[in-house]
């Protein structure tokens, strides 16, 4: 088990665009395992690679339904609107209301490079949108709304 240090707001790496993953190899597997360890250790529901200083399009999520690993994820369909409170492991102690799509469909690759599609609503949809934003250098505090 390896737990990474989580990068906090103010570090420029959180504002950069992450790069597409093209190699599905042992080092990707190691990154995924260590990101999952780091997420569980911090008791988060999601973690994007830039949050540990790695500018790759890799995300792990677990909203209580098991571990999801998404490589090069992108939202291909969305529906509805939902405003709820959000936090971020990179912004300790801060929470705020963010408007998200209520349902999303995401295309991604698994750890072997296989193309996949998944969909989710509620907390899972929120986590998917939050983590995919990290890959673009976007943080939830950029999207705060008043309820
Ligand atoms: Zn976050």
The answer for residues whose C-beta is within 8 angstroms of residue 2's C-beta and 6 or more apart is 33, 34, 37, 38
69 is an active site residue: no
Dihedral of alpha carbons 6, 8, 13, 18, sign: positive
The per-residue pLDDT for 132 is 98
117 CA to centre of ligand 1 in angstroms? 22
Reduced to 3 states, what is the DSSP secondary structure of residue 107? strand
Topology of 12-143 in CATH?
Answer: Peptide Deformylase (3.90.45)
Mean pLDDT of 46-50: 98
Give yes or no for residue 1 having a pLDDT over 80.
Answer: no
The per-residue pLDDT for 145 is 94
Reported confidence tier of residue 142, pLDDT bands at 50, 70, 90:
very high
Q: How far apart are CA 9 and CA 16, in angstroms?
A: 12
Give yes or no for residue 147 having a pLDDT over 90.
Answer: no
Mean pLDDT of 13-19: 98
Beta bridge partners of 115: 109
Q: How far apart are CA 134 and CA 147, in angstroms?
A: 23
97 CA to centre of ligand 1 in angstroms? 14
Reported confidence tier of residue 94, pLDDT bands at 50, 70, 90:
very high
Mean pLDDT of 66-93: 97
24 CA to centre of ligand 1 in angstroms? 24
């Amino acid at each position: 088990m390896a737990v990474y240090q989580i990068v906090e707001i103010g570090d420029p790496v959180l504002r950069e665009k992450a790069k597409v993953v093209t190699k599905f190899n042992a080092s990707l597997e190691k990154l995924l395992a260590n990101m999952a360890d780091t997420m569980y250790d911090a008791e988060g529901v999601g973690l994007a690679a830039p949050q540990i200083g790695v500018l790759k399009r890799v995300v792990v999520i677990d909203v209580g339904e098991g571990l999801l690993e998404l490589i090069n994820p992108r939202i291909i369909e969305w529906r509805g609107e939902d405003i709820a409170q959000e936090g971020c492991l990179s912004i300790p102690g801060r929470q705020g209301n963010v408007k998200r799509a209520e349902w999303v469909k995401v295309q991604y690759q698994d750890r072997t490079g296989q193309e996949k599609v998944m969909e989710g609503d509620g907390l899972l949809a929120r986590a998917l949108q939050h983590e995919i934003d990290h890959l673009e250098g976007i943080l939830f505090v950029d999207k705060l709304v008043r309820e």
